[in-house]
Amino acid sequence: MSIDLEKLPPELQFVYIALTKSAIYFKEMGMGKEFYLSFCSEIWDSMELTGLECLKDALKKKMEKDINPYVEEYIRNK
């Protein structure tokens, strides 16, 4: 299967890049394809057990917390 990244909607382009980056990290850590697929399956199962809005909110808060120092530094440097 060959994916034409440019033909995907922006959200799926981001997902493709994030999943590929994750796969690279796992490979560099010596984890195999089975571990990666199992990891993804665990994420899916966890998502199924949590309300989507609750999960989206938790992820948004975590991402904002992680990126906020970089944004503040960028603003200070401007």
Alpha carbon distance 8, 18 (integer Å): 14
Best CA proximity match to 59, nearest among 18, 29, 23, 20: 18
List pLDDT tens digits, range 27-75.
999 999 999 999 999 999 988 998 889 988 998 999 899 888 888 888 8
Alpha carbon distance 22, 17 (integer Å): 9
Confidence at residue 22, expressed as pLDDT on a 0 to 100 scale: 95
Asked if residue 26 lies in contact with residue 36, where contact means CB atoms within 8 angstroms, the answer is: yes
pTM above 0.85, yes or no: no
Average pLDDT estimate for 3-23: 92
Average pLDDT estimate for 12-33: 94
- Is the pLDDT at 1 greater than 70? The verdict is no
